[in-house]
Each structure stands twice: as C-alpha cells, then as structure tokens.
Amino acid sequence: MIDETFENLLKLAEDEENAKKAELAAKGELPGEDVENAEGNNQEPEEDGPLKVEIRCVTPPDEEQQKAIATIMQEKYGASSVEIVIKNDPSAADGFNIFVGDDNYDWTTLGRIRQLRRSIQKLPKEKKINNIISLIKDDLKGFKLNLGFQQVGEVLTVGDGIAVIVGLKEVEYGEIVLFECGVKGMVQDIRTNGTTGVVLFGDASEIVEGQRVVRTGRTAGIPISNRILGRMIDPLGKPIDGGPDIGAKRYYPIERPAPGIIDRKSVCSPLETGILAIDSMFPIGRGQRELIIGDRQTGKTSVAIDTILNQKGKDVVCVYVAISQKASSVAKVVNILKKNGAMDYTVIVSSPASDSASLQYIAPYAGCAVAEYFMDHGRDTLIIYDDLSKHAVAYRTISLLLERAPGREAYPGDVFYLHSRLLERSAQLSDEKGGGSMTALPIVETQAGDVSAYIPTNIISITDGQIFLDNELFYSGQRPAVNVGLSVSRVGSAAQTNVMKKSVGTLRLDLAQYREMQVFSQFGSDLDDQTVIQLKYGAGLMQLLKQPNQSPLTLHEQVILLMCAREKMFLDIPQKEIPKVARELLDWFAKENGTLCLSIEHKKVYSDGLQKKVLKAAKQFFTERKKSE
C-alpha cells in the first residue's frame, strides 16, 4: 500500500514539475530560474552544504524511495545535493511525513484522509440524502491526491495565553494557525528575528515547547446563518446558551475593510431609541455611530437596552456585544430582553471577564461580522459594544505580553486604529448595495467624568456624536442622566422625521437658558416674574425628560409630550407629579384619540392642523383632570 501510494505521489510530483516548467517556458523564462517564488521553497540551501530533508515514519523508505524523494526535493528547491535524515515517528503510520525546513509534505494515511475530508467539505450543501450520496460518489471518482504540502512551525515558548513560534515565514498578520493539540491561535506579532507571536483561543496548558504549528491560510472568522437570531454565542461563534447548533452556512471574516464612499449613502432615516431626551435633541440615524459615555453605574447599558427594546416590530436586527462583563450582568440583560420579547431579533456575543484577553479582543469584531451579515442582506442592524474601555484594556494586555512598546497610559501606539477600523464598518449602504445599514452604539466608561482621557478622546473623535451621562444628574434623580451641554449628534435633524423636527422647537435652547438662570439664581433672592416662570418651565422640562427603564416611548407619544411642553401646559402641575401626569396624558390620548395617534405614527408629517388637534385634545384632558380634583 505504501509503495503504490508512493508511486502515485512521485508521478504527481513529476507532473507538477513539468507543468511549472512549461508555464515558465511559455513566459520566456528558463525553468528553475525563479525557484525563490516556487511553492514550498522557504528553505534556502546552503552554498557549501546539502539540503536537509527529514523523513518521519514507522517503516523507513528503501533506497529506491529515498533516491526518488531526493530527486523531487532537488528539483523543488534547486539544491545540488540532499541529506536525508530518518526519524521514527509512531504518528506517521502507513507513509512518510517529510520536513524541509518550515515546509511539510504529509504522505501519511492521516494526511490522505485530511485531503479527502477537505475535498468533501467543499461540496455544495444538500438536504436530501440521495443527493448527498451522489455528490460524494462523484467527488470520490474525481478525487486526486496532491503532494500534501503545508508550512509547519514550532513552539518556542508559551504562557499567559501567548505562544511564540519559530518558522512559518510566510504567515500573515491575523491568520489562524493550528497547534498539534487542536488549539487555535491568531497571529498578532510578526518579528524581524523570524519568530511570531500568537494569541491563543483555547487551553494553553495543552501546548508545550517544540509542538508543531501549521498554517490554515484563513483569517479569523465566525460561522453564521439566519438561525443565529435569538441566540447567545461566544466570539468564536459557538452557542453558549445551551441550545442546539446554529447550523451555519456562511463563514464571515471578523476583520474586513469598511465600505467605501461609493458604496455608502448619507444617513437620512432615524433609528429611534424611545428615549425622549435623545430622540428629541440628539437624534441617531441609521448608519450612524453614537458614543454613550459616562462614569460607572450611570445608566449607559440601560440606554442601550432600551434602544434594543424600542426596535420591536421595526425589522431591525440587534447585536449586543458584552466585553469583559460579569456573567451575572449578561444574564440579567438576557432576562430583560426575553421578558420584553426582544430576543427574537437580537444576537448576544458574550466574552465575560473569565475569558482570556484574546477572546475579549476579538469579541467586538465577531459581533460586527454578525451585524455585517444582515446588513449585506439589506437589513437594518443595531450593534452595541459594551464596552470599548474594557476592550482597550484587553488589547493592552495582549500587546504588553507580546512585548510591544507601551505608549500613553501603557496602551500600544495603534490603539486608535484598534477602534477606528471597527467603528468605520458601520454604514448606511447605497441602494445598489442593498440599502442595509449598521448603526453602532459604542459604550465607554470614564473615571470621575474625565472625557479628556486617552480612550474616550480617541472614540469621541471617531464617532458621529456622543451622549454624555452625568454623574451628578444621575444621583440627583434625573434618569436618563443626559447632559444636554456635553452631548451632541453630528448628524442632527437629518436623522429626524418631519413631525419630530418641528415639534422639538427650541427645547435644547430652553434647557440651556434654564441651566444658566439656575446658576444665576443661586446668587440672588429677588427675581423678576419672567425669570421665575423661565426657571419653573425649565424645571418642568427636566421632569418631563425623566423616563423609567424599559419604558421606551413611541413616536406619537414623544410628539404629544413635546407639543404640550412647548405650550407650557405642565406649568401649573407640581414638579414631582409631572412624570405621572405625562403618563396619564398619553394613556388618555391612546384611549380617546387613537386615530390621531395612528396618524402621527404613520404619516410622520407636521402640519398646523395636526398641532391644533393635539393641543385641543390636550386642553380637554387638563380641563377634565382639573375638574376631577
């Protein structure tokens, strides 16, 4: 059996060599002139020494076989002489495993089985058993062995989730490599001394010094299909919610160039968060990147979760990426989404604090790949990165372990590129590209409200605006604690519907005036009537903007509240009762003026007639309420 296979491989090697010579002759080049670029020529033969060929096997090759192998390798590498070293290797059963420097030619039974498996894996997907059998039969008839060439490296050191390997001279940055024990890793550092730094995606205890490493020729990716909706996966695409396999049909790379300018169109349609303070003053458009920034425990995740809840029934796919979060926190988010029926259109990519830094590092890219899959199919998507501060810390950990030079705050010099290449992938695609969109809401944690720190300033400069959640506002009871002065949306009213744009009016200006007057009033007791009214009106607006968690407002509810606020209808209501009265007003509108509510929701167009109808109905509500008191 060995002799027969050996003859086939020898003939195959001769055929390949003849084909290469013919191709070079057709180009006007002499055969063997360009041996440096030939496949499997990573080892340059020494001028004064023979080419070293190591054969690992159980049954050593006879003299004739050794001569044939020497001839093949001489032609392959352009060597004048070959030195064959034979080593006993129980794993190389029924064949030979040949090594020439970093190059490996697997002529064992296992190597032939791997070739057959790869050939079958390339077959088209089929559900019917008869079709599957016929496809496999046809593939077996046409199956031909190749030389089994692959590049092989060796582990020098391993520790802290990082392996340093030697060899694999042609390996690319970001490529996945496979260790002999089955653990996968990703190339993150290609050094001038010939070694390569690899971050590990599995149990490092199984990797030992001297272990073999092979290239896969693939960058890191994630298996994906439509059945991923409603599931929780890890950064490698494996389900971690105890459910069945996803049955992925596609393999999406986690690193991918952002869409070009030609492939995009301007952001023009809103993605409503359901939060009045945001939708009215800092509107978010589909395809926009809006940063949510604030200190720890100021409601950043709550804003993101409410935005997901508000997408129910709007054909938006949501992806929530949890980076270095506590497992209990992620479980809490899952329960909220399930309770509100939002898991049906949501995917959760979780890399908890217990995961290695390498998995936390690729988590946001994996989530982005999931969102891109749906965007490429013409769907609108929303992705939450919770949070990129911890992502930067994970990348800093990897970089320091790889012995890269630390910069400001010990972060590596390319930490800006880390997040820019991620967030630039968010886009509103042109109609020619399907018209899909990806809206990103990255979350960043600040220390004592310091927005001038390294990572916050980086991401502020990348994104199209930020929602700043203020610590003092939060603890004073203003929730969501949106700081109107420091928050901004650079897309602005382009991402608002006509009715919302006209209803907002001078809301933001009124709040700015209120803040200034509030500071001024602290230094004097005698205030004129106009200032008193302005302070009362501003305080009422702040109360109106209060909103409990998991209670997103629809478009018509927001428009009604804004129109009533502009007419100062809440001025006579005690401040503490305003949120309660606002809720009663909306419930009354839904019961008594359902047609008007539907008209606002579907037409989305402002008119004087519409405003008159809303204000007339609102006055009726306040009159009835006053009488009942």
CATH number at residue 460: 3.40.50.300
Q: What's phi and psi for 407, nearest 5 deg? A: -120, -140
Q: How far apart are CA 583 and CA 215, in angstroms?
A: 61
**Residue 258 domain-assigned?**
no
**Residue 260 domain-assigned?**
no
Say whether both 428 and 360 belong to one domain: yes
**Residue 251 domain-assigned?**
no
Stated as kind and residue range, the H or E segment containing 157 is strand 149-159
In this structure, what token pair is assigned to residue 610?
Answer: 């519409």
What integer pLDDT is reported at residue 89 of this predicted model?
A: 75
Q: Which of 99-103, 133-137, 390-394 has the lowest mean pLDDT?
A: 133-137
Counting residues of the chain whose pLDDT is more than 90, the rounded percentage is 55
DSSP bridge partners of 250: 224
**Residue 264 domain-assigned?**
no
Say whether both 579 and 616 belong to one domain: yes
What integer pLDDT is reported at residue 587 of this predicted model?
A: 94
Q: What are the tens digits of pLDDT across the range 200-247?
A: 988 888 899 988 888 888 888 898 988 999 999 999 999 999 888 887
Say whether both 157 and 117 belong to one domain: no
What integer pLDDT is reported at residue 379 of this predicted model?
A: 95
Q: How many domains does the chain have?
A: 4
Contact 586, 618 (CB under 8 A): no
Q: What are the tens digits of pLDDT across the range 166-210?
A: 988 888 888 999 898 888 999 999 998 889 999 998 888 889 998
- For the segment 484-489, the average pLDDT, to the nearest whole number, is 91
Say whether both 416 and 390 belong to one domain: yes
Q: How far apart are CA 33 and CA 30, in angstroms?
A: 5
Stated as kind and residue range, the H or E segment containing 444 is strand 437-446
Assign 530 a pLDDT band (cuts: 50, 70, 90). confident
- For the segment 441-465, the average pLDDT, to the nearest whole number, is 94
Q: What is the CATH number of the domain that holds 539?
A: 1.20.150.20
Q: What's phi and psi for 616, nearest 5 deg? A: -65, -45
Say whether both 169 and 58 belong to one domain: no
* Model confidence at 488: pLDDT above 50: yes
Say whether both 432 and 474 belong to one domain: yes
Q: Which of 94-103, 291-300, 332-341, 617-626 has the lowest mean pLDDT?
A: 94-103
Bond prior to 529 in cis (omega within 30° of 0): no
Q: What is the CATH number of the domain that holds 180?
A: 2.40.30.20
What integer pLDDT is reported at residue 12 of this predicted model?
A: 52
Which residue would you say has higher pLDDT here, 24 or 453?
453
Say whether both 24 and 85 belong to one domain: yes
What integer pLDDT is reported at residue 591 of this predicted model?
A: 92
**Residue 512 domain-assigned?**
yes
Conformation bin of residue 568: beta by default, left when phi > 0, alpha when psi is -120 to 50: left
Q: What are the tens digits of pLDDT across the range 65-80?
A: 788 888 888 777 777 8
* Model confidence at 444: pLDDT above 50: yes
In this structure, what token pair is assigned to residue 600?
Answer: 């606002």
Say whether both 548 and 624 belong to one domain: yes
- For the segment 339-367, the average pLDDT, to the nearest whole number, is 95
In this structure, what token pair is assigned to residue 61?
Answer: 């090759």
Q: How far apart are CA 295 and CA 446, in angstroms?
A: 5
Assign 615 a pLDDT band (cuts: 50, 70, 90). very high
**Residue 262 domain-assigned?**
no
Which residue would you say has higher pLDDT here, 112 or 601?
601
Average confidence score pLDDT of the chain: 85
Q: Which of 4-18, 209-223, 400-414, 461-475 has the lowest mean pLDDT?
A: 4-18
C-beta pairs of 601-604 under 8 Å, 24+ apart in sequence: 601/554, 601/555, 601/556, 603/499, 604/497, 604/498, 604/499, 604/500, 604/555
Say whether both 123 and 174 belong to one domain: no
Reference 161, options 355, 356, 362, 353; nearest CA is 356
Please give the distance of CA 130 from its chain centroid, rounded to a whole number.
39
Which residue would you say has higher pLDDT here, 129 or 449?
449
- For the segment 8-26, the average pLDDT, to the nearest whole number, is 51
Q: Are strands 162-167 and 175-179 parallel, antiparallel or unpaired?
A: unpaired
Say whether both 472 and 513 belong to one domain: no
From 142, 160, 184, the end of a domain falls on 142
Burial of 623 (0-12, 13-18, 19+ CB in 10 A): exposed
What integer pLDDT is reported at residue 377 of this predicted model?
A: 94
Say whether both 347 and 442 belong to one domain: yes
Q: What are the tens digits of pLDDT across the range 122-135?
A: 666 655 565 556 65
* Model confidence at 260: pLDDT above 70: yes
* Model confidence at 349: pLDDT above 80: yes
**Residue 362 domain-assigned?**
yes
Please say if 490 is a catalytic residue.
Answer: yes
Say whether both 304 and 435 belong to one domain: yes
**Residue 256 domain-assigned?**
no
What integer pLDDT is reported at residue 117 of this predicted model?
A: 63
Assign 32 a pLDDT band (cuts: 50, 70, 90). very low
Structural domain for 444, as ranges: 230-243+269-493
Q: Which of 29-43, 53-67, 171-185 has the lowest mean pLDDT?
A: 29-43
What integer pLDDT is reported at residue 220 of this predicted model?
A: 87
DSSP string, 496-553: S-HHHHHHHTTHHHHHHHHHHHHHHHTT-S---HHHHHHHHHHHHHHHHT---TT-PP
From 142, 163, 181, the end of a domain falls on 142
Q: What are the tens digits of pLDDT across the range 455-465?
A: 999 999 999 99
**3-state DSSP assignment of residue 482:** strand
Q: Which of 155-159, 300-304, 346-350 has the lowest mean pLDDT?
A: 155-159
Counting residues of the chain whose pLDDT is more than 70, the rounded percentage is 84
- Catalytic one of 227, 256, 264, 490: 490
- For the segment 488-502, the average pLDDT, to the nearest whole number, is 90
Reference 10, options 82, 85, 72; nearest CA is 72
Entry pTM: 0.81
From 123, 142, 161, the end of a domain falls on 142
User: 124 to each of 131, 136, 249, 626, how far by Cα in Å?
Assistant: 10, 10, 10, 72
Q: Which of 10-24, 335-349, 382-396, 439-453 has the lowest mean pLDDT?
A: 10-24
Q: How far apart are CA 35 and CA 16, in angstroms?
A: 14
